[in-house]
Amino acid sequence: MNTKHINTNRLKSVNKPLGVLLITFLLAISISAISQNEDDQIIDRVVAIVGNGIVLESDIQNQYLNYRMQGGISGSVSEIKCNIIEEILFQKLMVAQAEVDSIEVSDVQVEADLDRRLASFIQQFGSQEKMEDYYGKSLIEIKKELHSIVHEQMLAQQVQSGIVSTVDVTPSEIRSFFKSIPVDSIPLIKTEYIIAEIVKNPPISITEKLSVKEELNDIRKRILDGSSFSTLAIMYSQDPGSAKKGGELGFYGRGQLYPEFEAVAFKLKEGEISNVIETEAGYHIIQMIERKGDYVNVRHILLSPKVSPQDLEIAQRELDSVATLIRADSMSFIEAVVKFSEGENVNNEGLMINPYTMSTTFEAEQLDPQVSFVIEKMEVGSISNPVPMKTEDNKDAFRIILLKEKSQPHKANLEEDYTKIREWALNDKQIKAVGKWIEDKAASTYVKIIDEYNSCDFDHNWGMK
């Protein structure tokens, strides 16, 4: 066994738990769909056996082509494929263990996870149509092919979670881990910020809501009188993603749309137009294009009521007053958050949460550009004047910002970066725990790899039986 200890490369990716040992496979489509030229064409064959599971040449090629499509190529083709086959061997070994442990994943769980993954994959392509064009298959066909792949991955993830669930690090282990890092390999910690906010969401007036609903009802009447839904969507819809496509959304499954939208969409007949419905995004009318099982393809026109300039001005003035109270020490920032803020983080002292790490610290590039611009000129402990913002549902609002903490770039050290170093140490210990598990299980599981891949410099001893 040659389990790799912490090194510079691992430290560069410490935010990726368990490194290459995690199940990080991209969604793979059948080789006939992905192959783009003759060089990609292969005759499928079994290249490895793990217990009752087999690894096909196409499994490796699928992953390789997905990495290439994502621009994730570093190293030679043979090195990349060796890394891929080891990840697949690891997954197959965990699936075999899941069978031994009677671990089960329901179809409902698989469908939900698959819908989430496909939504992310569609976003990477830019649209559902681009993904379907690339693979030459419909969303329904792609989902059907991926079902068994995702099922295996979910089984493997449960086994892997069990392997590391009891792994923890003591303070002495954390210190020993940090001392083991060569001085010239200690990572540089970038400037980090901790920021809090007090948010004011101006209400949308009843008059504005009624006006938007009336406008949408007029559009609906024009469609019922013979006007083209697609044309009017292009002209009036405020959904930038679908308006240019005549309002067409593409196929979506249950749980992927606003609940109110979905409840209506799945009840429509082909060509039928819905009444006006309200969601967080605004008001919609929907036209059914096609339904395939638990997937629907619809058109919609969205109109979103806007906050009036007068109400925005009132919100700005109210926050001005709050800022004055805080600066005069008449009220602490935390007290003001509790009393005045309408943000979702009101129960968290107004602290902004980094969506990339789910922590309260941000590196500069992780900040909203507007926030970054505001705090650039602020001193730690100071608060900003009211600044405009967009809420998660794209509504206009105002907030004042507190720059709570700002660190200077520095080499990692135990005094300032204990939490980070603990994560690195825990990650390293988890990797070793998984490595030991692989060695133990591979020794008692039938593993056979064809000679072509036996020459790979694997991280683990797969028995080569």
* Domain co-membership, 129 together with 21: yes
* Domain co-membership, 283 together with 345: no
| 240-274: burial string, b at 16+ Cβ within 10 Å, e else | eebbebbbbbbbbbeebbeeebbebbbebeeeeeb
Helix 107-125 × helix 139-164 angle, to 10°:
110
Boundary-marking domain end, from 246, 271, 303: 303
Largest CA distance in the chain: 76
* Domain co-membership, 136 together with 259: no
* Domain co-membership, 67 together with 166: yes
Boundary-marking domain end, from 274, 303, 332: 303
pLDDT, position 3: 33
* Domain co-membership, 52 together with 168: yes
* Domain co-membership, 268 together with 334: no
Q: pLDDT (tens digit, 0 to 9) for every residue of the chain, 465 residues total?
A: 333 333 333 343 333 334 333 434 444 444 334 444 444 455 678 988 988 888 888 888 877 877 776 665 566 788 888 888 888 889 899 998 998 889 988 888 888 888 888 877 777 777 777 888 888 888 888 888 888 888 988 999 999 999 999 999 999 999 999 999 999 999 999 999 999 999 999 999 999 999 999 999 999 999 999 999 999 999 999 998 889 889 998 888 887 889 999 999 999 999 999 999 999 889 999 999 998 877 888 999 999 999 999 999 999 999 999 999 999 999 999 999 999 999 989 999 999 999 888 889 999 999 989 899 999 889 999 999 999 998 877 789 999 999 999 999 999 999 989 989 999 999 999 999 998 998 888 888 888 888 888 788 888 888 654
Q: Model's pTM, two decimal places?
A: 0.65
Give a yes or no: residue 168 inside a domain.
yes
CA count, 13 A, side-chain hemisphere, 210: 3
Burial of 225 (0-12, 13-18, 19+ CB in 10 A): exposed
Boundary-marking domain end, from 389, 408, 427: 408
Give a yes or no: residue 460 inside a domain.
no
- Which pair of structure tokens corresponds to residue 65? 């082509």
State the total domains in the chain: 3
* Domain co-membership, 29 together with 142: yes
Give a yes or no: residue 325 inside a domain.
yes
* Domain co-membership, 391 together with 293: no
* Domain co-membership, 198 together with 222: no
* Domain co-membership, 179 together with 234: no
Give a yes or no: residue 78 inside a domain.
yes
pLDDT, position 334: 96
Q: Write out the residue range of the structural domain in which residue 289 sits.
A: 206-303
CATH number at residue 71: 1.10.4030.10
* Domain co-membership, 143 together with 89: yes
Give a yes or no: residue 388 inside a domain.
yes
* Domain co-membership, 260 together with 384: no
CATH number at residue 226: 3.10.50.40
